């Protein structure tokens, strides 16, 4: 009976860790997106002469800076390229946080079995078991204080085989990613 209680608690721990991660991604994306949106709105309003009471011909930059930019146009190209790179990195971040690039479907039973098998390891963080076309994918995060050798030994001898037999075919390939956080 105690194993059943542990099995019921394990997915909630894993889910709580992933919710914090996704919340951090969303906050970061909101900050970057809001900043880019504000800068774009400001540039559009200034370009169309609709920014408060400032006339459209009002200079934003000091005279020496304007002269340098008029003589050498490459700083504006560098600025445009850096904004383009920032946009692409933000888009990649958004797509990954939405789940694109992940292979397979999440399996709660496998995640619970993973936590039950490693219940002696303190501080386990994120874990996930996914069933994909090419086999089983296990992801596990543990603290640096954990005995990594013991974790790998348990995974290799007991846990991975049981999860594979329970969820998918015993002959299916399995990829295990073990991340040790600092």
Half-sphere exposure of 83 (CA within 13 A, CB side): 11
Half-sphere exposure of 80 (CA within 13 A, CB side): 5
Number of helices (H) and strands (E) in the chain: give both, helices first: 6, 4
Residue 30 reports pLDDT greater than 60: yes
Where would I find the H helices in 53-159?
63-71, 74-97, 108-117, 148-154
User: Residues 115-158: pLDDT tens digits?
Assistant: 888 887 777 777 888 888 888 888 888 888 877 888 888 888 88
Claim: this prediction has a pTM higher than 0.85 = no
Q: Which residue's structure tokens are 């996914």?
A: 130
Helix (H, G, I), strand (E, B) or coil at 174: strand
Beta strands in 18-165 (DSSP E): 105-106, 127-132, 135-143
Question: What span, in angstroms and rounded, lies between the C-alpha atoms of 161 and 109?
Answer: 14
CB of 73 closer than 8 Å to CB of 126 = no
User: Residues 54-91: pLDDT tens digits?
Assistant: 666 667 777 888 888 888 888 888 988 998 998 898 88
Q: By CB neighbour count within 10 A (0-12 exposed, 13-18 middle, 19+ buried), where does 123 fall?
A: exposed
Question: CB neighbours (10 Å) of residue 137?
Answer: 20
| Structural domains of the chain sorted by starting position, each given as residue range(s) with its CATH number in brackets | 2-97 (no CATH), 105-181 (3.30.300)
């Amino acid at each position: 009976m105690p194993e059943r209680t542990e099995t019921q608690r394990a997915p909630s721990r894993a889910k709580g860790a992933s919710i914090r991660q996704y919340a951090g991604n969303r906050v970061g994306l909101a900050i970057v997106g809001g900043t880019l949106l504000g800068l774009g709105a400001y540039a559009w309003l200034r370009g169309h002469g609709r920014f408060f009471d400032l006339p459209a011909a009002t200079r934003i930059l000091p005279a020496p800076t304007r002269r340098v930019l008029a003589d050498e146009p490459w700083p504006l190209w560098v600025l445009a390229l850096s904004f383009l790179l920032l946009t692409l990195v933000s888009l990649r971040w958004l797509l990954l946080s939405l789940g694109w690039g992940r292979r397979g479907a999440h399996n709660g039973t496998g995640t619970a079995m993973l936590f039950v098998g490693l219940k002696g390891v303190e501080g386990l963080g994120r874990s996930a078991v996914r069933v994909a076309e090419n086999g089983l994918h296990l992801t596990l995060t543990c603290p640096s204080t954990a005995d990594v050798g013991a974790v790998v030994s348990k995974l290799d001898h007991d846990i991975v085989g049981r999860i594979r037999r329970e969820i998918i075919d015993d002959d299916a390939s399995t990829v295990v990613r073990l991340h040790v956080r600092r």
